[in-house]
Amino acid sequence: MTSRLVLIYQPRQATPSNLLAHPTDSFKQFKKLLTPGKIGQTLCLGNLTDKPTYDYLRSIAPDLKIVKGRFDADATSLPLAQTVTHGSLKIGFLEGFTMVAPMEMDLMLAEANKMDVDVLCWGGTHRFDAFEYENKFFVNPG
């Protein structure tokens, strides 16, 4: 079986003022870490608000999955949540604003069960977190 590295990307800019003042800071920092050919799939947890970042993510992994973030106002066709499967592992991902109460473990478990996933990834808090709860794994890339 061929293994694929999956990248989970959450843009750092969280407010409209940050997006306007520093539109490419996150992109520049992120770009230094990656080279094309190493990543099999990218899961973007919303707020992918500029075309250069989108184009770059596509260049390092053409299999780019994106969910709608709170600042993706013009991206009306993006889903609020998605699920991908890697082998027997099902990964669900969404931007944190769609969750009723991020970090309420029982509600997060209910979301993972509703999506029927083994791993639930969410963003929007700008704080890394990873834990296991009731045989599910939860990851927030920060």
Nearest CA to 8 out of 39, 49, 54 is that of 39
- Decide if 89 is inside a domain: yes
For all residues of the chain together, what is the average pLDDT? 78
Q: Residue 3's pLDDT band (boundaries 50, 70, 90)? A: very low
- Decide if 104 is inside a domain: yes
Higher pLDDT, 33 or 111: 111
Q: What residue numbers bound the domain in which 33 lies?
A: 6-141
pLDDT at 137 over 70: yes
Which pLDDT tens digit goes with each residue over 33-66?
A: 676 777 788 888 888 777 887 887 888 888 889 8
DSSP bridge partners of 4: none
- Decide if 1 is inside a domain: no
- Decide if 11 is inside a domain: yes
Three-class SS state of 77: coil
Q: What is the CATH number of the domain that holds 63?
A: 3.60.21.10
- Decide if 110 is inside a domain: yes
- Decide if 55 is inside a domain: yes
- CA 11-76-60 angle, to 5 degrees, is 40
pLDDT at 20 over 70: no
Q: What is the rounded CA–CA span in Å between residue 100 and residue 63?
A: 29
Q: What is the pLDDT of residue 83?
A: 96
pLDDT at 18 over 80: no
Q: What is the pLDDT of residue 116?
A: 97
- Decide if 133 is inside a domain: yes
User: Residue 18 is encoded by which pair of tokens?
Assistant: 């940050």
pLDDT at 8 over 80: no
Q: What is the rounded CA–CA span in Å between residue 86 and residue 107?
A: 25
Domain count of the fold of the chain: 1
